[in-house]
Amino acid sequence: MCGRFTLTTTPEEVARHFGLDETPVLSPRFNVAPGQLIATIAREPEGARWVLALRRWGLIPAWAKDPKIGSRMINARVETVAEKPSFRGAFRKRRCLVPADGFYEWAVRNGGAKQPFQIALPGRRCFAIAGLWESWRDPEGASSESCTLLTTSANRKLQEVHDRMPVILDPADYATWLDPRSLDEATLMRLARGAPAEELELHAVGRRVNDPRFDDAACLEPASSPG
């Protein structure tokens, strides 16, 4: 599962990393939580440009009667994403990148207490989590867009903390992942396995991050007594 992440990278670096034509307006995020609007990057329907847009985290399938279903759709397991009715349409036609520079997981320690960890590349470099997006219309006809993050089995380094991790795409695969013409399921599933991410580092942080109301640099402060 991936239930929290960070995006503190400058807008200029986000634009450079993803080859955007415009620098997005983004504020640093230290504790992104489900239900919030998050930055996503998708290809324009008619063209090759990549565009950043804010979409709500928690995918609402187009056929849903109640948008509250989105709270249960924050992640899509790569093993079943191509078959599940909630995700299979988006997997084929509405893939996106979710910029991030870290994510959080919690490990059980000290007789049941949960120790939060921030997991990031060295230097907290920017990367992309594989995502899917969907458009939903309410009974009055108003539309809203939402998204989900793909997850896969954790690599060896992360298994001590959690058995799942977000799919981190290789930058060389961004264009294929975003191209709606890329419909070969074997290729998509290969990309959706993500990079090995053996470079990832684990940093024990304080329990401030447990509360999604806190979204500031203090969320990344080292734990006083990790364990």
Task: Give residue limits of the domains in the chain.
Answer: 5-220
Question: 153-169 burial, b if ≥16 CB within 10 A, otherwise e?
Answer: ebeebbeebbebbbbbb
Mean pLDDT of 37-62: 94
Helices and strands in the chain, H and E counts: 4, 12
Structural tokens at position 157: 């380094």
pLDDT, one tens digit per residue, over 88-101 is: 999 999 999 999 99
Q: What is this structure's pTM?
A: 0.95
Q: Within 13 Å of residue 11, how many CA atoms lie on the same side as its CB?
A: 9
Structural tokens at position 123: 């230097």
For residue 46, indicate whether it is catalytic.
no
For residue 126, indicate whether it is catalytic.
no
Mean pLDDT of 213-222: 97
In CATH, 5-220 is 3.40.50.150: no
Q: How far apart are CA 129 and CA 102, in angstroms?
A: 10
Q: What is the pLDDT of residue 89?
A: 95
Average pLDDT over the chain, rounded to an integer: 93
Residue type present at position 192: A
Give the max Cα distance, the chain.
55
Asked if residues 84 and 63 have their Cβ atoms less than 8 Å apart, the reply is no
* The one catalytic residue among 79, 96, 105, 199: 105
Q: How far apart are CA 116 and CA 107, in angstroms?
A: 6
* The one catalytic residue among 2, 126, 147, 219: 2
Closest CA to 166 of 207, 135, 131, 201: 131
